[in-house]
Amino acid sequence: MEREILALIGSHRQMTRAELANIIGKSAGTITSRLNQLIDKGLIKRQGSRHDPKQTYVLQ
């Protein structure tokens, strides 16, 4: 799933958690866990406030 997330963010330049969950077909909680792992690995970063529902994720 991490590769799928990276590919989607790469092809769209930026994506929200909701967009990723909808396309991949997993819960928002599952996507959030994977996004946090990718952030910890330095592969992606957040843009916008942590509590903003429109926060996006981009490749690092």
What DSSP string runs through 1-60?
-HHHHHHHHHHHS-EEHHHHHHHHT--HHHHHHHHHHHHHTTSEEEES-TT-TT-EEEE-
What range defines the domain where residue 47 resides? 2-59
Looking at the structure of the chain, the number of domains it has is 1
pTM score, two decimals?
A: 0.89
CATH number of the domain at 12, please: 1.10.10.10
pLDDT tens across 9-60, in order?
Answer: 999 999 999 999 999 999 999 999 999 999 999 999 999 887 887 899 999 9
